[in-house]
Structure 1
Amino acid sequence: MADTQTPESSSDSLDADTALLALRQQIDSIDQQIQVLINQRAACAQQVAEVKLRCSPQHPAVFYRPEREAQVLRRVMERNDGPLPGKDMARLFREIMSVCLALEQPLNVAYPGPEGSYTEQAVRKHFGFSVKGVAMSDAEQAFKAVEQGHCHYAVTPVESTHEGLVSHTLDLFRRYDLRICGEVELVLDPVDDKSLAADTRYLVLGKQYVAPSGKDKTSILLSMRDQPGVLHDVLGAFRQRSISLTRLESRTLHQGQEHYSLFYIDFEGHQEDAPIKGLLSELSQGPDTLKVLGSYPRAVL
């Protein structure tokens, strides 16, 4: 077949090849710069680990700081000017932070299995792919793994699209002395099989106290003798201090002849904030039982 390409089309093709070659060389150069900078960041992370170990020889060093990571990811999104969307850019940084943290301390994160479940997806979304996910038979085994020191953290569902609050998790909070260190929101594809347990909110559990990040939540368990007006009194304490609730669940407990109301409450703010200090002080007075589950950064991604 005769070559039907005209001189003009041949020239256009050569111009396009030249332009593409120049752009690809530019991309290669940028990739090299990114790689150098990522390794510089990793080296800084190693130095951070050395400082932490040197400055706290008598106590275990804390390498994973949820409040610090939340602040970094928020700044990434705030300063992002495209063309990548802010959350996509933050997800890239999430993985950079994950590999850098692994250089400081490889983390083991327990979760109720099986592997490949939504809960494992929540682990990866929050910690990145450089942590070791450890599948457990159920949520209680995940709690035990952290309490006994076999794993650094656990991720467990706390809300289900089908059941609301996962009551079994609520019982485990009463029995185990763990803190909430973070939350994960997992948005599922609407075409997913609705017969599956489509859990959408997860909690990160550990033993450490989490400092304020600037945008935080606090979760508590409050057990009160069951009597008329008890919920009104609880809500009044929040309203008096203009503290916004984000979640309120209650259930009845039976202990012998006595009946108690158990409240699980999420609200905005950190337990170091003055209004919340006053709230917790008020709720802890009298015969009622208050357990502060933790203050932690609101989900960023």
Structure 2
Amino acid sequence: MSSRIARKPAAADTAAERPSIETLRARMDEINLKILRLVSLRAGLAMEIGRLKHHHGEVYQPVRERAIIEKMIAENQGPLTDEQVKRIYVEMISACRALEHEPRVAFLGPEHTYSHEATRMRFGSSVELMPLESFAAVFQAIENGRADFGVVPVENSTEGSVTLTLDLLIDTALVIIGEILLPIRHSIMSLSGAAGEVRRIVSHQQSLAQCRGYLSAKFPNCETEAVASNALAAKRAAEDSSLAAIASAAAGEAYGLKPIASNVQDVATNTTRFLVMGTRPVERSGSARADKTTLLFAVADRVGTLNQALNLFARNAINISKFESRPLRARPWEYLFFVDVMGHRDDPKLSRALKSLERKALFLKVLGSYPEGRSAAA
């Protein structure tokens, strides 16, 4: 056995073997140029595809875009997180899409609302944003051609459905072409950031409800006031030092507010589901687990008719992920039923179930088949 002992590298030896900052930066500059060339090549291909697609359909292809992002996440080996990879590709796709046509996307304004955040999360930065004053205005903008798409909230995991959106879905000719699941992280903010100076707390009524427990524990003596949007609440707080706003951190930053506390929602997993509205249906993803279909129907007010209608889905092995009733405005104590089922309307099983339901129902409207949403962390 050799008596030689391996010599521990001296500090000078280790330093000599380690590349310098200048060397690393030079390598990074080379990679930056390669990335730019590849992105430019990708953009050229997107433009060529765009010229072909104009003969066949929409510039926005939610099924294709989701498939790209999910593939990149599956291939991600770090050190970037999956969410960071997703954001990079959302922006790259957005920029390439804008070379074909820059979409106009309507949402409930003003800017810095959660609707604005959901719109940016789905469409990226390379779009023409149209903040509007109401959900009805969003639907109207798409219907009259002023907007290509719209983003509206339909459901919150804490407070339930947004009834105004459900009512608009009943009569619209638009279709649902996607959904966005946005984690809602509320902050409470004021001009000074001092909790002791707050006399009134302003926010959208749903946000106040989502923070009810926190407000009761931390601000039991403060009045609350519901306003039209969280961004408006932030604007109000920026004008009055006695007010605090519950809104997103981005809204607070935009209006120069300082944080009192963050993540003040009562439920840590608080999430709002947004619908993407358009004028043309989208294609199948190719897997029943990847698509969702939303429909509404009415049945005769007789014993067993609703149960028989829902059993049509069970017989075709179709999962119902949501079921909700809404009163018929012109006929008291009669209801429409909103249903989310897994699968695309063109899938054989779901197509068969819908044809059977159409024969039994007084009224049936398929609001859209679209890629199932993924949470922001997915």
Shift of 1:31: 1.1
Q: Structure 2 counterpart of 1:20, which letter?
A: I
Shift of 1:192: 5.9
The 3 A distance-change label for structure 1 pair 241 and 92 is: same
Matched, 1:269 2:343: yes
Instruction: Choose from 202, 208, 213 the match for 2:274.
Output: 202
Task: Give identity over the alignment, percent.
Answer: 34
Instruction: Choose from 197, 206, 212 the match for 2:284.
Output: 212
Q: Deviations over 1:133-179 (max 9, x none)?
A: 10111001100000111100000000134541111111111111000
CA distance in 2, matches of 1:254, 1:210: 30
With 17-26 and 232-241 compared, the bigger mean Cα shift is at 17-26
Is the CA contact 2:309–2:361 (under 8 Å) kept in the aligned structure 1? no
Structure 2 match to 1:4 = none
With 239-248 and 78-87 compared, the bigger mean Cα shift is at 78-87
Shift of 1:234: 2.8
CA distance in 1, matches of 2:39, 2:160: 41
CA distance in 1, matches of 2:317, 2:345: 14
Q: Structure 2 counterpart of 1:21, which letter?
A: E
Matched, 1:233 2:308: yes
Correspondence list, 1:142-157, <5 A: 142-157=138-153
TM-score scaled to structure 2, two decimals? 0.70
The 3 A distance-change label for structure 1 pair 152 and 146 is: same
CA distance in 2, matches of 1:16, 1:144: 65
Q: Deviations over 1:237-289 (max 9, x none)?
A: 12111211221111232535x74321111111111111100111011114510
SS of equivalent to 1:208: coil
Is the CA contact 1:70–1:213 (under 8 Å) kept in the aligned structure 2? no
The 3 A distance-change label for structure 1 pair 124 and 254 is: closer
Instruction: Choose from 244, 252, 260 the match for 2:327.
Output: 252
The count of corresponding residues between Structure 1 and Structure 2 is: 287
Structure 2 match to 1:74 = 70
Q: Deviations over 1:24-47 (max 9, x none)?
A: 111111111111111111111111
Aligned-pair RMSD on alpha carbons? 2.4
SS of equivalent to 2:20: helix
Instruction: Choose from 80, 83, 92 the match for 2:79.
Output: 83
Structure 2 match to 1:5 = none
Matched, 1:30 2:31: yes
Unaligned segments of structure 2, at least 5 residues: 1-9, 190-201, 208-270
Correspondence list, 1:105-254, <5 A: 105-189=101-185, 191=187, 196=204, 197-198=206-207, 200-214=272-286, 215-253=290-328
Is the CA contact 1:139–1:169 (under 8 Å) kept in the aligned structure 2? yes
The 3 A distance-change label for structure 1 pair 31 and 17 is: same
Runs of at least 4 residues of structure 1 off by over 6 A? none
Is the CA contact 1:225–1:260 (under 8 Å) kept in the aligned structure 2? no
Q: Structure 2 counterpart of 1:31, which letter?
A: N
Q: Structure 2 counterpart of 1:236, which letter?
A: N
With 216-225 and 94-103 compared, the bigger mean Cα shift is at 216-225
CA distance in 2, matches of 1:103, 1:254: 45
Q: Structure 2 counterpart of 1:34, which letter?
A: I
Unaligned segments of structure 1, at least 5 residues: 1-7
Q: Structure 1 counterpart of 2:348, which letter?
A: A
Q: Structure 2 counterpart of 1:86, which letter?
A: D
Q: Deviations over 1:45-89 (max 9, x none)?
A: 111122234x46xxxx52111111111111111222222222321
CA distance in 2, matches of 1:217, 1:19: 53
TM-score scaled to structure 1, two decimals? 0.87
CA distance in 2, matches of 1:282, 1:275: 11
CA distance in 2, matches of 1:227, 1:167: 26
Q: Deviations over 1:164-207 (max 9, x none)?
A: 11111111111110000000010022656895434711000001
